[in-house]
Amino acid sequence: MDRLINRRDIDFLLYEVLSIETLTQRERYAEHDRETFDAVINAAQKLAIDHFEPHAAELDANEPTLENGKVSIIPAVKEALSAFSEGGFMGAAMDFEHGGMQLPWVVVQACNAYFNAANLSTMAYPFITVAATNVLAAFGSAEQKARYLRPMVEGKFFGTMALSEPQAGSSLSDIRTKATPTSDGHYLITGNKMWISAAEHDLSENIVHLVLTKIPGGPPGVKGISLMLVPKYRLNEDGRSGEFNNVSCVGVNHKMGYRGTVNTVLNFGEAGECRGYLVGQVHHGLSYMFQMMNEARVGVGLGGAALGYTGYLHSLEYARQRPQGRHPHDKDPMSEQVPIVEHADIKRLLLAQKAAAEGAMALVLYCSTLLDLQRTESDPAELTRLSLLLDLLTPIVKSWPGEYCLEANKHAIQILGGAGYTKDYPVERFYRDNRLNPIHEGAHGIHGIDLLGRKVTMGEGAAFRAFILEIEKTIAQARPIELLDEYAELLEEILRELESTTEELIKIRDIGEVTLFLANASIYLDTFGHVTIAWMWLKQSIEAARRLSDASPDDRAFYQGKLRACQYFYRYELNKVPERLALLSSSDDTCLGMQDSWF
Amino acid sequence: MDRLINRRDIDFLLYEVLSIETLTQRERYAEHDRETFDAVINAAQKLAIDHFEPHAAELDANEPTLENGKVSIIPAVKEALSAFSEGGFMGAAMDFEHGGMQLPWVVVQACNAYFNAANLSTMAYPFITVAATNVLAAFGSAEQKARYLRPMVEGKFFGTMALSEPQAGSSLSDIRTKATPTSDGHYLITGNKMWISAAEHDLSENIVHLVLTKIPGGPPGVKGISLMLVPKYRLNEDGRSGEFNNVSCVGVNHKMGYRGTVNTVLNFGEAGECRGYLVGQVHHGLSYMFQMMNEARVGVGLGGAALGYTGYLHSLEYARQRPQGRHPHDKDPMSEQVPIVEHADIKRLLLAQKAAAEGAMALVLYCSTLLDLQRTESDPAELTRLSLLLDLLTPIVKSWPGEYCLEANKHAIQILGGAGYTKDYPVERFYRDNRLNPIHEGAHGIHGIDLLGRKVTMGEGAAFRAFILEIEKTIAQARPIELLDEYAELLEEILRELESTTEELIKIRDIGEVTLFLANASIYLDTFGHVTIAWMWLKQSIEAARRLSDASPDDRAFYQGKLRACQYFYRYELNKVPERLALLSSSDDTCLGMQDSWF
């Protein structure tokens, strides 16, 4: 039995629900076929089991340590990441021309699901490096690509994304790190960054920091942010890492989870000259970073989904093996105890996890497919539609898994009971690790404001309409299927309510009450997410229902499970939505009107 | 500003909402008055701040260690508990005749709120000891009281409750630990216990284990369980601890939270004779334990509530100090950042915590008052009514705080953002500690079955009717108050729905579908809990509204906060209840009908 991610489900999502083989008809992916995809996913699964999972508990118990500015990490991490780089995974989605495998992002995410489930902390190092390579590939100069990007794709250099500062976390417009131009073409970097993951370690020859800075004299706020490439070691002419560039790690954070991923306080240029190299144009830094954010945020969603998923499978395994108690109608204390998977409440906790984890995974892979389509689309109208859809879904795919797969991890602990609360099993670690996801890469509340304040309303609602249209297509496909009629009906109703609630909210904005308009944006985000996941369950159920009658016994059970999880989501979760929408429509100001002195 | 528990709120609950001074009219408490109560609570608050809080983080980072059967705990714990015993807190509620202060339980719980908030792990040792003293005071022989109870009340001996075994956690009928009678009057104990908290340490001269056992030849299941007093060291004639009694700690669990409370695997009688002494009558062990369980379970609820409460206050303090971002209408990046307490979403997270923590605390103190009234009631009809109410509320007060104050702790982390995820602040520890509460002293699902399968239906619904009547009294008091009319109306409606849902469910049971009847009992428990907490908020709001106009400015702000938290609970939480009740009424079998092979 799979304990990381159910491979049958990955195949179902990729090939039956998302039909990703059709991507190979596009020029970018023309050299691939399903066989390559499967081989890569197989390799990832094996690597995750052999090299990532075994040291996960050890790494959690032995977080990286800082001594004299140097961070040490248990050796197993470097070994795992060497195997990862050798397997080509650091450049799995990168263009051939930069040394990558040019695989579709959705295939890479299926691979990453295994790595994340096996060991989220170790996987964070390549996750951040890959994000940095994507920025450089898109916006770096030819020289930057040759000197920095190539060794990163090879896994010789690692990367970071250095955005936050002590006084500027959610509010990036307030960053202060300074980039002062010199006559030699480079900039001198001074200042501090905080919460920077993977920014000091002994895992790679060099670390390439992508740093948000302000060039003196530029415009205030986000319009004056420039992106700098700042290596830990300056490169010699021959491309080898040379002199220390005065990027100093002056502190590490001790965290409740994600403990294997070092999280640092950085100082630039205090002890000596720190050179930075402009990426792209001055003052465009934030937009470069945000153009790459969609991928990073899908990646955060994947982390949440993968943790929820493996927690589900671990608790399922336990529930099947652990005898405890008897059925309610059995009053004979001499009878055998039954495995707890037979108890209704345990089934409920398992179904809740299955619905959350598989629903989240479906959304992550759907959004990844959108990224692949967007990247390779030539028709301008379709490109616009894909981009709108993806922009709208980004706050959802970033946020929903971190919120509801955390809840799933809570259930996994509950199934294991006292055992789940101990370090003898990994479920408590999954729960601790997953708690970060609503915080980093934009806090939960920020995404609520992004969704309602920007995405839903942009282009006079163009993205929102594209979203509604997509769901309506799915509803239309589901309607003729008798098994799914109940769900199609309910989703249709709720979609209408979501539309009218959104209209009500926009009216509040239109009369200038922007603060009230956004006051409950987090609830809007969660509710919108529930509708989105319900859509994902209907998409899956259509394929399951269609295949049910001709399926093998194993597949039949698999499809029945999909249909039951869909039923669970509609009857136990989606039905919470109307009340939330009613609350939102009422523009309630209970929270907004609360006074500081009343707390 | 209070960071543990808001003292103004404690006074409000004790004297304005629960009018606990009236307890002093009862003989048991006649020697006390409000002055004594206040002095004891003041002493507890000071002791918690001076002796419990300072070592909480250190203890979390340095869990007890086991070497050669001996457990070592950092010295600060022993120091704190010596001060605790010297302050008389070990026997605070115990009868004068056994060396206690004979204080009302509700006053003791107010004290314990501070200790729990300051350091849950350290407080667990006296918590369990006090539970054991209550069992001995009620059911022990005169000799047992003289030799064991008295030194426990003095804090010289500590106690445990040893129920669970590896194969018997939720299902106590399956315990196997054996008590074999001898001709000398004592029993020989053999077997293993697991998950036993505070069962081996260097904090006290002796440890008195109260152990559930089976006497060979007795009836199977719970009807054959006998309670044994098993000291770690046998007592000499003079009452001093003597020879080792072969209770061996053979393992300790490494937990995600509650890390300072040692949790053990015990072996009885493997290395030599282990003597046990029967408490009460043979085969009555479980009922003795359960008669004391109400208090222990109120205590678990208090732990959850206290963690939620201190997490709320810590995050409030942070939110007032942390500048980040600007109001939505302020587009000037050069303007000052505002403290995050001004953001609507932060206010929402704070109100959610306030509503959960203060609501839970109100319920805990209400139930504690019921315990005091029950203990001192002479009128048989009133005694029955109090006992019914308390029995019904026990699964709620045990479960709701652990579930929803855990959610509150999640919000506290969110407010602190990245900082909240680090060990620089205690909120992540509160979250880890609180995760145990839905597991121990009866797992969440067990309490669902207890509530629906036993409490609601016992005496043909007598307890349920007593509960409804109490709430109706509160509703009747609220109706004439204009500020509260909306809430009185809503609670009335929901109470009717709860009644009809309960009737629907009982019909299912009455046609013999016991398994279906209980299938969603956990959801029933949570929903019932929401109704109960809504009632607590209405009770509080009545007092707040009555006093509002004549209050001092500080009190006015305090009462406004109460009214606003009530508004939050009714508009953002209680409104979730109708949909849950509709789901329950439909006797949905989605979970029950799930097949193992479909997962």
From B327, B521, B557, residue closest to A598, measured CB to CB: B557
The CA–CA distances, whole Å, from A344 to B398, B590, B591 equal: 21, 9, 6
Name the residue facing A598 among B334, B560, B593 (closest C-beta): B560
Distance CA A211, CA A189 (A): 9
Token pair, residue A563, equals: 């249909």
**Residue B561 to residue A164, Cβ atoms within 8 A:** no
A22–chain B Cβ distance below 8 A for any pair: no
Put simply, whether A321 touches B (Cβ < 8 Å) is no
CB contact under 8 Å between B423 and A588, yes or no, is no
Q: Is the Cβ of A552 closer than 8 Å to some Cβ of chain B?
A: no
By Cβ distance, the residue of A439, A571, A591 closest to B418 is A439
3-class secondary structure for A241-256? EEEECCEEEEEECCEC
Give the position of tokens 């797992």: B443
Structure tokens belonging to residue B525: 């428990």
Give the residue from A39, A163, A157, A198 showing the smallest Cα distance to A107.
A39
CB-nearest to B418 from A169, A254, A444 is: A169
**Rounded (to 5) percent helix, strand, coil in chain A:** 60, 10, 25
Residue B96 CB neighbours (<10 A):
11
CA distance A445 to A433: 19
Query: Least CA distance to A445: which residue of chain B?
Result: B345
Supply the DSSP string of B35-83, one letter for each residue: HHHHHHHHHHHHHIIIIIGGGHHHHHHS--EEETTEEE--HHHHHHHHH
- The DSSP-derived string for B389-433 is HHHHHHHHHHHHHHHHHHHHHHHHHHHHGGGGGBTTSTHHHHHHH
Q: Quote the CA–CA distance of B317 and B337 in Å, as a whole number.
A: 17
Tell me phi and psi for residue B322, to 5 degrees.
-90, 115
Chain A stretch 572-591, residues whose beta carbon is closer than 8 A to a beta carbon of chain B: 572, 575-576, 578-579, 582-583, 588, 590-591
**Cβ of residue A410 closer than 8 Å to a chain B Cβ:** yes
Which regions of A39-83 does DSSP assign to beta strands (E)? Answer: 65-67, 70-72
- Phi and psi at residue B187, in whole multiples of 5°? -115, 155
pLDDT of residue A441: 92
Optimal mutation site among A261, A497, A590, interface B, most CBs of chain B within 10 A = A590
Best of B589, B590, B595 to substitute, by most chain A Cβ atoms within 10 angstroms, is B590
DSSP, residue by residue, B488-515 = HHHHHHHHHHHHHHHHHHHHHHHTT-HH
Rg (CA), chain A: 24
Does A380 contact B at CB distance below 8 Å?
no
The reply to whether B557 touches chain A by the CB within 8 Å rule is yes
Report how far residue A273's alpha carbon sits from residue A294's, in angstroms, rounded to the nearest whole number. Answer: 34
Look at residues B434, B427, B422 and name the one whose alpha carbon lies nearest to residue B317.
Answer: B427
Partner-chain residue, chosen from B221, B344, B521, that has the shortest CB–CB distance to A519: B344
* Partners of residue B570 in chain A, C-beta under 8 Å: none
> Among candidates A434, A362, A395, which has minimal Cα distance to A528?
A395
pLDDT of residue B219: 96
Considering only the beta carbons, identify the residue of B421, B436, B515 that sits closest to A327.
Answer: B515
How far is C-alpha A371 from the chain's CA centre? 14
- What residues in B contact A567, CB-CB < 8 Å? 590
> Could you list the pLDDT tens digit for every one of the 599 residues in chain B?
799 999 999 999 999 999 999 999 999 999 999 999 999 999 999 999 999 999 999 999 999 999 999 999 999 999 999 999 999 999 999 999 999 999 999 999 999 999 999 999 999 999 999 999 999 999 999 999 999 999 999 999 999 999 999 999 989 999 999 999 999 999 999 999 999 999 999 999 999 999 999 999 999 999 999 999 999 999 999 999 999 999 999 999 999 999 999 999 999 999 899 999 999 999 999 999 987 878 889 999 999 999 999 999 999 999 999 999 999 989 899 999 999 999 999 999 999 999 999 999 999 999 999 999 999 999 999 999 999 999 999 999 999 999 999 999 999 999 999 999 999 999 999 999 999 999 999 999 999 999 999 999 999 999 999 999 999 999 999 999 999 999 999 999 999 999 999 999 999 999 999 999 999 999 999 999 999 999 999 999 999 999 999 999 999 999 999 999 999 999 999 999 999 999 999 999 999 999 999 99
Question: Is the confidence metric ipTM above 0.90 for this complex?
Answer: yes
A contact test, residue of B317, B522, B540, B591 with most A CBs within 10 A: B591
Indicate yes or no: CB of A417 within 8 angstroms of CB of B170: yes
Residues on chain A touching B583 (C-beta within 8 angstroms)? 571-572, 575
Per CB-CB distance under 8 Å, the chain B contacts of A588 are 571-572
Q: Which of the residues B6, B259, B334, B345 would you substitute to probe the A interface, choosing the one with the greatest number of A C-beta atoms within 10 Å?
A: B345
End-to-end CA distance of chain B: 50
Do A157 and A204 contact (CB within 8 A), yes or no?
yes
Length of chain A: 599
Enter the tokens of residue B171: 């299902």
Residues 139-168 of chain B whose Cβ lies under 8 A from any Cβ of chain A:
164, 167-168
Relative to beta strand B263-268, strand B206-214 is unpaired
φ, ψ at B526 (rounded to 5°): -60, -40
Predicted local confidence at residue B292, as pLDDT: 80
B414 touches chain A (CB under 8 A): yes
What do you get for the CA distance between the two ends of chain A, in Å? 50
**Mutate: best of B421, B513, B522, B559, partner A, most A CBs <10 A:** B421
Helix (H) or strand (E) holding B26, with range, is none
A300 near A398, Cβ under 8 Å? yes
Backbone φ and ψ for B138, nearest 5 degrees, come out as -80, -40
Total Cβ atoms within 10 A of residue B31: 12
What residues have CB less than 8 Å from A541, skipping those under 6 apart? A478, A483, A484, A487, A562, A563, A566
CB contact under 8 A, B333 and A221: yes
Measured from the Cβ of residue B224, the count of other Cβ atoms closer than 10 Å reads 20
Size of interface A-B (CB pairs under 8 A): 266
CB A577 within 8 A of CB A530: yes
Residue in the block written with tokens 């797969």: A405
* Model pLDDT, residue A205: 97
Contact B344 A520 (CB under 8 A): yes
- pLDDT value of position B290: 86
Going by C-beta distance under 8 Å and a sequence separation of 6 or more, which residues neighbour residue A2? A313
Asked if A323's CB is within 8 angstroms of B518's CB, the reply is: no
Q: Where are the alpha helices (DSSP H) in A322-426?
A: 344-375, 380-416
- pTM for this prediction: 0.98
Backbone dihedral region of B320: left (phi > 0), alpha (psi from -120 to 50 degrees) or beta? alpha
pLDDT at position A294 = 80
Question: In the numeric block, which tokens belong to residue A476?
Answer: 């239309």
> What is the structure's pLDDT at A292?
80
What's the CA gap between A554 and B91, in Å, rounded? 62
B-chain residues near A431 (CB < 8 A): 256, 435
Look at residue A7 in the predicted model and tell me its pLDDT: 98
For residue range A386-422, list pLDDT tens digits in order: 999 999 999 999 999 999 999 999 999 999 999 999 9
Reference A362, options A3, A2, A6; nearest CA is A6
Report the alpha-carbon distance of residue B311 to residue B296 in Å, rounded: 23
| Residues 6 or more apart in contact with residue B116 via CB below 8 angstroms | B123, B302, B303, B306, B307
Q: Is B61 on the interface with A (CB under 8 A)?
A: no
The answer to whether B476 contacts chain A (CB < 8 Å) is no
Helix (H) or strand (E) holding B112: helix B105-118
Q: Which residues 427-456 on chain B approach chain A with CB closer than 8 angstroms?
A: 428, 431-432, 435-436, 438-440, 443-445, 448-449, 453
Residue in A488, A466, A142, A131 with CA at minimum distance from that of residue A302? A131
> Which residues in chain B (199-258) have CB-CB distances under 8 A to chain A?
220-222, 253-257
Residue written as token pair 């523009």: A587
pLDDT along chain A (599 residues), means of 10: 95 98 98 98 98 98 96 98 98 98 98 98 98 97 97 98 94 96 97 97 97 97 97 97 97 98 97 97 94 88 98 98 94 94 98 98 98 97 97 98 98 98 98 97 96 96 98 98 97 98 97 96 98 98 97 98 98 98 97 98
Distance from CA of B440 to the nearest CA of A (A): 7
Question: What is the distance between the alpha carbons of residues A400 and B365, in angstroms, rounded to a whole number?
Answer: 36
Give the CA dihedral B305, B310, B312, B314, nearest 10 degrees: -170
**Do A462 and A381 contact (CB within 8 A), yes or no?**
no
Interface check A395 vs B, CB under 8 A: no
C-alpha angle B189/B194/B199, rounded to 5°? 75
With 0-12 CB in 10 A as exposed, 13-18 as middle and 19+ as buried, what is A185? exposed
Tell whether A415 is within 8 A of chain B (Cβ).
no
Q: Rounded CA gap, A60 and A215, in Å?
A: 39
